[in-house]
């Protein structure tokens, strides 16, 4: 009797253990969530240890290596670095997988909502950055004095100003903007070195930082995250953003925009690392010393003309794109955004004023649909470099894509000045060009 009781207890204990093991396996299976959408024709619940796509948890209950991780390390990568926290672009670590404790999930979600609401309700009070304001005051007041001195300068000094303005402009438009910000074409090593040198003459920060803010401007245009949000007025969009503290959302987005392509560019990173000495050499010493050394221009006069006046001119022309080209003009491609077509800005900024088109198709190396090299010198420069074999991979937009976008979102001004004028217009009932669906609707109404 005693032996039978022992045998029964051993069996019961063993069966209970197996039951708990099976229950744990089932629980693990049901708490393993696939982040990808289920494939048509397949079961939405994967088998134990398997998953359709990137899984949230592995067989040990840990976040798997493939979850939301194109680099295979189980983490997201931003700006070339591992990042697993809230990246402010929609990805939330706490939302990546379902947790086993619903109550804990609810508490965390509520805490997150409360934090986000508090951040939204916190009023932003911009502060003046006095050193930056002082620098801008010095540049602009000095530019007026330099303009006065230009009337008494050597004619070669005037020509030298024109040359340095054009060269530095190419550094901005073909280099920092179309190459490093938008990757609209590929440049060889010699061309990248030339563009980095030209951009250093412009003196508008290093190309990496310039491209970072410009990518944010396109990604979050006309929001609080836009570094020079045009909704805050002409003055702010033009120059005010340079000496006011940025909105907290701008600071947050600077941490998450992908800059890995520029971080892999040795020329771009060299220019960033040595920006201060490059600025002193390329933007101050070289432009000022050449007239003094080669045609005996007065050094004092050369400084105010070839640094202050030249620097301030290129600065303001570049920032006309942020202000004028976001406020005054037509919107042929998207009437719902602030950027506009501004031919005068294109003339001054070497082709950067076709801004409504550019915000709709930022990867187009031409940054515009119409116009010739006279209003888009930068496009001519890139085409010339491609002819020399220094540039390749020029990205553009097909005419059909442009037509579809203009017809769907534009303000109707695209077809007024070209061969497509009044393309789909009809004179009235009986016109053979009335669309078939309209004819069917008219027939129904007559019946």
- Written as one string, the DSSP assignment of 47-79 is PTT--SSSBSS-TTSSPPTTTT-TTSSSSEEET
- Residue 322 above 60 pLDDT? yes
Say if CB 312 and CB 139 are below 8 A apart.
Answer: yes
Say if CB 93 and CB 63 are below 8 A apart.
Answer: no
- Tens-digit pLDDT profile for residues 264-285: 999 999 999 999 999 999 999 9
pLDDT at 335: 94
pLDDT band at 421 (very low <50, low <70, confident <90, very high): low
- Residue 86 above 50 pLDDT? no
pLDDT at 82: 41
More confident residue, 8 or 231: 231
- Tens-digit pLDDT profile for residues 154-184: 999 999 999 999 999 999 999 999 999 999 9
The two tokens of residue 426 are: 């009809």
Separation between Cα atoms, residue 239 and residue 137, nearest integer Å: 11
- Residue 13 above 90 pLDDT? no
More confident residue, 134 or 430: 134
Non-local (6+) Cβ contacts of 262 within 8 A are 180, 207, 208, 211, 268, 269
pLDDT band at 371 (very low <50, low <70, confident <90, very high): low
- Mean pLDDT, residues 54-67: 40
Say if CB 227 and CB 246 are below 8 A apart.
Answer: yes
What does the DSSP 8-state code read for residue 341? B
More confident residue, 16 or 136: 136
More confident residue, 304 or 108: 304
pLDDT at 103: 53
Give just the sign of the alpha carbon dihedral 392, 385, 176, 318.
Answer: negative
Mean pLDDT rounded to a whole number for the chain: 79
- Mean pLDDT, residues 371-384: 91
pLDDT band at 366 (very low <50, low <70, confident <90, very high): very high
Place of tokens 């189980």: 74
Please return the burial class of 122, using the count of CB atoms within 10 Å of its CB with bins 0-12, 13-18 and 19+: exposed
- Of the listed ranges 43-57, 117-131, 222-236, the least confidently predicted one is 43-57
More confident residue, 248 or 9: 248
Backbone φ and ψ for 186, nearest 5 degrees, come out as -115, 135
């Amino acid at each position: 009797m005693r032996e039978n009781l022992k045998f029964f207890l051993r069996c019961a204990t063993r069966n209970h253990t197996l039951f708990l093991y099976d229950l744990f396996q089932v629980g693990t299976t049901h708490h393993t969530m696939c982040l990808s959408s289920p494939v048509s024709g397949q079961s939405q619940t994967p088998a134990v240890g398997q998953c359709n796509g990137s899984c949230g948890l592995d067989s040990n209950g840990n976040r798997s290596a493939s979850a939301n991780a194109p680099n295979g390390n189980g983490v997201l990568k931003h700006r070339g670095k591992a990042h697993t926290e809230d990246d402010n672009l929609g990805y939330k670590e706490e939302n990546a997988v379902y947790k086993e404790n619903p109550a804990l999930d609810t508490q965390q979600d509520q805490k997150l909502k409360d934090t986000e609401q508090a951040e939204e309700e916190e009023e932003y009070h911009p502060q003046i950055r006095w050193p930056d304001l002082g620098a801008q005051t010095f540049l602009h007041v000095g530019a007026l004095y330099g303009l006065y001195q230009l009337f008494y300068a050597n004619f070669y000094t005037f020509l030298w100003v024109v040359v340095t303005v054009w060269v530095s402009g190419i550094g901005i438009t073909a280099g920092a903007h179309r190459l490093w910000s938008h990757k609209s074409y590929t440049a060889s090593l010699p061309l990248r070195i030339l563009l980095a040198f030209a951009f250093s003459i412009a003196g508008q920060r290093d190309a990496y930082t310039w491209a970072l803010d410009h990518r944010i401007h396109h990604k979050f245009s006309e929001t609080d995250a836009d570094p020079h949000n045009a909704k805050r007025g002409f003055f702010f969009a033009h120059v005010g953003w340079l000496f006011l503290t940025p909105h907290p959302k701008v600071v947050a987005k600077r941490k998450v925009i992908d800059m890995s392509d520029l971080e892999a560019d040795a020329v771009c990173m060299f220019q960033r690392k040595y920006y201060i000495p490059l600025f002193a050499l390329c933007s101050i010493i070289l432009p000022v010393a050449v007239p003094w050394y080669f045609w005996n221009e007065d050094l004092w006069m050369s400084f105010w003309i070839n640094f202050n006046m030249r620097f301030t001119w290129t600065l303001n022309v570049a920032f006309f794109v942020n202000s004028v080209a976001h406020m005054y003009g037509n919107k042929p491609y998207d009437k719902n955004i602030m950027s506009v077509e501004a031919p005068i800005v294109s003339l001054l900024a070497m082709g950067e004023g076709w801004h409504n088109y550019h915000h709709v198709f930022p990867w187009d190396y031409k940054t515009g649909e119409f116009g010739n090299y006279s209003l888009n010198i930068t496009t001519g420069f890139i085409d010339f470099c491609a002819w020399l074999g220094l540039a390749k991979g020029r990205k553009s937009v097909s005419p059909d894509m442009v037509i579809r976008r203009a017809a769907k979102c534009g303000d109707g001004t695209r077809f007024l000045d070209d061969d497509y004028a009044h393309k789909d217009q009809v004179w009235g009932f009986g016109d053979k060009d009335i669309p078939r669906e309209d004819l069917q609707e008219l027939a129904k109404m007559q019946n």
